[in-house]
A and B are shown apart, each in its own frame.
Chain A
Amino acid sequence: MIEMLNVTKYYDGNSTALVDVNLKVEKGEFIFITGPSGAGKTTLLKLLFYAEIADEGQILIAGWDLYKLSKRSIPYLRRNIGIVFQDFKLLTNMTVFENVAFAMRVVGTPYKEIRQKALNVLKLAGLVHKADDYPLRLSGGEQQRVAIARAVGNEPTILLADEPTGNLDNRSASAIIEIFKEINSKGTTVLVATHNENLFTSSGRRVITLDSGRVAGEGLR
């Protein structure tokens, strides 16, 4: 589903964020990417949804070479990728419901279907009672779940989650992992970037460890 071949990424010339990264993720897999702060986790995810462009190497998504696609088709590629941003990126002038519905409207979901679909994902995220609240009035964990609800709302083929348990306590964190498992069980390929080892220890899942932009380790935990 995802393939990175000898990918290197520099920022503004000097700082190297990723060096010669090779990564292959199968369809329906659920993997973790870990490593210390500044290791390049966010950068790796950004490359996958074309928010950043690699300086060297090749990236394939569902068999498509990202750098051979026309600019016009990028939005359509992104529609198959749900993203949970490290900083949420919720629209503060819209309610929780509107945030989720907006993402559906952007990709052209028929009006009639939006309401029911949005309510379904809010239910999954346990947020139905907060549907009409504005994001800034929610707790960090609740905002996090809004971001997740929005990301999974369009039933993406790939889900990229960047530090989705940020500063959450263990119980909230595992609740979020449960949501991802549920999505994954429906066939979505899931990539979670985190430095929270509790999320994956004894999960039996594949974990990629980055250090200073290089793949430092890979294995089941």
Chain B
Amino acid sequence: MISYHLSEGLRNISRNKLLTLTAIFTISVSMMIFGIFLILFLNLNLLHEGWGERIQITVYLKDDTDKDGLIKEIKKEKEVAEVIYTSKEKALAEFRKELGREKEVLDSIGENPLPASLDVSVKKEYRSSEFIEPLVETIKMLSGVEEVHYGEEWVKDLTSLLKGLRVTGLFLGSLLALGIIFITSNTIRLTLYARQEEIEIMKFIGATKGFIRGPFLVEGALQGFGAGVLSVLLLYLFYSIAAYGIDFRLPGFNPGFLALSALIPIPLSGFLLGLLGSLFSMGRFLK
């Protein structure tokens, strides 16, 4: 009996090649949109981690501060990994190096205008704005601290962007899932209309609902599965093209593709959604 459903389902597909191909393509495009979203999300996460390593809190000191006392104070905070001191003189020397040819500007000022500073690096597990911000507030309160700088803007932005993307992803994912169900059920409905008479005859001959439904379920599931496979292939193609461009623009950043564990669910969910889609359209049809 299963072989009947299977071969009949395949026959439906080959009888309605154009319709099936259109459906597969449309479904795979919506799956691809979701895939692109996942890849974007994954890479922003990678970026977040990568930049996180470079998160540095720079503490500028008032002149004549007891730096050793201050370093000891800062090191007490659990988030802090390391503190490196830069003296006024060293800061000036580095600044001169950076300025290169234009260093005369500094010479004309005469007195060293640069403050001494501490570079505070943060332990890996605390590298997000929710930990860094309170830490910065604490450090600001310490005596001898003139000013504190850190990459506040983008840390905040990236963290909230990732949070937002997670919500959007959930929303987008469910929307696209509904879309896929809708597309399959519509395609199956068109096939059903084309074969309305055949179905009616089957009913009058004494075919059970399951017998009539089987081939259409196979058709829907295969459609969804095929679309899933196609979308993975398309995703990889687009990813390769995009990654090639990114390599030039962001040297040192290795864009990642979805892992196998994230790829396999795509055709599988296509299979299930296709099955659901055809089940929906059959439900109304077989009344």
On A, residues with C-beta under 8 Å from B are: 49, 51, 72, 75-79, 81, 83, 85, 89, 91, 102-103, 105-107, 150, 154
Q: Which of A72, A76, A83, A154 contacts B204 (CB 8 A)?
A: A83
The residue on B at minimum CB distance from A104 is B205
Are B197 and A76 in contact, with the CB atoms below 8 A?
no
Would you give 12 A-B contacts (Cβ < 8 Å), ordered by A?
Answer: A75-B206, A75-B207, A78-B205, A78-B206, A81-B206, A89-B200, A89-B204, A91-B201, A103-B205, A105-B4, A106-B206, A107-B205
Q: Given A72-B208, A91-B197, 12 more contacts at CB 8 Å?
A: A51-B204, A75-B206, A75-B208, A75-B209, A76-B206, A78-B204, A89-B201, A91-B201, A103-B205, A106-B206, A107-B205, A150-B205
* Proximity bits, B1-26, A CB within 8 Å = 1, else 0: 00010000000000000000000000
Task: Please indicate the chain B residues that have their CB under 8 angstroms from the CB of A85 in the complex.
Answer: 204
- In the bound complex, CA of A81 to CA of B204 (Å): 9
Are A79 and B206 in contact, with the CB atoms below 8 A?
yes
Interface centre among B200, B204, B208 (most CB of A within 10 A): B204
Q: Is B37 an interface residue (CB 8 A)?
A: no
Task: Please indicate the chain A residues that have their CB under 8 angstroms from the CB of B211 in the complex.
Answer: 106
Q: Is B93 an interface residue (CB 8 A)?
A: no
Q: Is B198 an interface residue (CB 8 A)?
A: yes
Task: Please indicate the chain A residues that have their CB under 8 angstroms from the CB of B4 in the complex.
Answer: 105
Residues in B29-46 with C-beta less than 8 Å from chain A: none
What's the least CB distance linking B188 to chain A, in Å? 18
On B, residues with C-beta under 8 Å from A are: 4, 197-198, 200-209, 211
Task: Please indicate the chain B residues that have their CB under 8 angstroms from the CB of A76 in the complex.
Answer: 206
Interface centre among A105, A106, A107, A154 (most CB of B within 10 A): A106
What's the least CB distance linking B98 to chain A, in Å? 80
Interface of B is mostly: helix
- In the bound complex, CA of A79 to CA of B203 (Å): 10
Closest 9 CB pairs of A and B: A79-B206, A78-B206, A106-B207, A75-B208, A75-B206, A106-B205, A103-B205, A89-B201, A107-B206
Are A91 and B204 in contact, with the CB atoms below 8 A?
no
What's the least CB distance linking A100 to chain B, in Å? 11
Are B203 and A75 in contact, with the CB atoms below 8 A?
yes
Task: Please indicate the chain A residues that have their CB under 8 angstroms from the CB of B203 in the complex.
Answer: 75, 78
Are B204 and A49 in contact, with the CB atoms below 8 A?
yes
- In the bound complex, CA of A166 to CA of B204 (Å): 21
What's the least CB distance linking B10 to chain A, in Å? 15
Task: Please indicate the chain B residues that have their CB under 8 angstroms from the CB of A49 in the complex.
Answer: 204
Task: Please indicate the chain B residues that have their CB under 8 angstroms from the CB of A150 in the complex.
Answer: 205
Are B206 and A89 in contact, with the CB atoms below 8 A?
no
Interface centre among B202, B203, B205 (most CB of A within 10 A): B205
- In the bound complex, CA of A58 to CA of B208 (Å): 24
Task: Please indicate the chain B residues that have their CB under 8 angstroms from the CB of A79 in the complex.
Answer: 205-206
Task: Please indicate the chain A residues that have their CB under 8 angstroms from the CB of B201 in the complex.
Answer: 89, 91
Task: Please indicate the chain B residues that have their CB under 8 angstroms from the CB of A77 in the complex.
Answer: 206
Are B197 and A89 in contact, with the CB atoms below 8 A?
yes
Task: Please indicate the chain B residues that have their CB under 8 angstroms from the CB of A106 in the complex.
Answer: 202, 205-207, 211
The residue on A at minimum CB distance from B207 is A106
The residue on B at minimum CB distance from A83 is B204
The residue on B at minimum CB distance from A82 is B205
What's the least CB distance linking B85 to chain A, in Å? 83
- In the bound complex, CA of A94 to CA of B203 (Å): 17
- In the bound complex, CA of A85 to CA of B201 (Å): 10
What's the least CB distance linking B5 to chain A, in Å? 12
- In the bound complex, CA of A50 to CA of B206 (Å): 11
The residue on B at minimum CB distance from A46 is B204
Interface centre among B197, B202, B206, B208 (most CB of A within 10 A): B206
- In the bound complex, CA of A138 to CA of B207 (Å): 26
The residue on B at minimum CB distance from A88 is B201
What's the least CB distance linking A78 to chain B, in Å? 4
Task: Please indicate the chain A residues that have their CB under 8 angstroms from the CB of B207 in the complex.
Answer: 75, 106-107
- In the bound complex, CA of A75 to CA of B209 (Å): 8
Interface centre among B197, B198, B201, B209 (most CB of A within 10 A): B201
- In the bound complex, CA of A200 to CA of B204 (Å): 27
- In the bound complex, CA of A48 to CA of B200 (Å): 16
Task: Please indicate the chain B residues that have their CB under 8 angstroms from the CB of A107 in the complex.
Answer: 205-207
What's the least CB distance linking A167 to chain B, in Å? 21
Q: Which of B198, B206, B208, B209 contacts A91 (CB 8 A)?
A: B198
- In the bound complex, CA of A79 to CA of B206 (Å): 5
